[in-house]
Amino acid sequence: MKAVNLPEIKKELNMLSSIELQQLCLRLARFKKENKELLTYLLFESQSEAGYIETVKHFIDNEFELINTNNFYYIKKSIRKILRNVKKFIRYSQQKETEVELLLYFCKKLRDFKPSIKRSTQLQNMYYRQLSIAKKTVSKLHEDLQHDYTIIMEDFE
């Protein structure tokens, strides 16, 4: 089955009643965890972006506490999983400020992580890659925010 493009889907959705739209959304939420998470963000958390950021930061804190530090293999695997989830949460928001906040928080937690990431080239590369992504995103923000975030990012280098 070939997927239809977005303009055609939009046209078709415009013809449906609100009850039919509700049923479609609930059906979508039933099939994938990501669909359910996105709907949760859109319905409950998109009104308060600061609250959403705090929720994600709390999630990051919890995940970093759960990392098995016995072996660098497990550390790398766990940190990649945390980063994957952070990227997913950034996609839900689609706001550049949220992206910068979450990436910088992730980098801060990674930098302060014990045992040090300096013992692993892969973790250092991940750290610097996320910092460069954050810098690139900061350049797309308003000038005042760019200045604020540039000052914050000086501590990371």
Give percent of the chain above pLDDT 90.
55
C-alpha–C-alpha distance, residues 83 and 101, integer Å: 14
Give percent of the chain above pLDDT 70.
100
> Tens of pLDDT along 35-64?
888 888 888 888 999 999 999 999 999 999
Kindly state the tokens that stand for 41.
Answer: 């963000």
pLDDT: which is higher, 3 or 26:
26
> Tens of pLDDT along 90-130?
999 999 999 999 999 999 999 999 988 898 899 999 999 99
pLDDT at residue 147 greater than cutoff 80 = yes
The one-letter code for the residue type at 154 is E
User: What's the burial of 45, exposed, middle or buried (CB within 10 Å: 0-12/13-18/19+)?
Assistant: middle
Q: In the predicted model, what is the mean pLDDT of the chain? A: 91
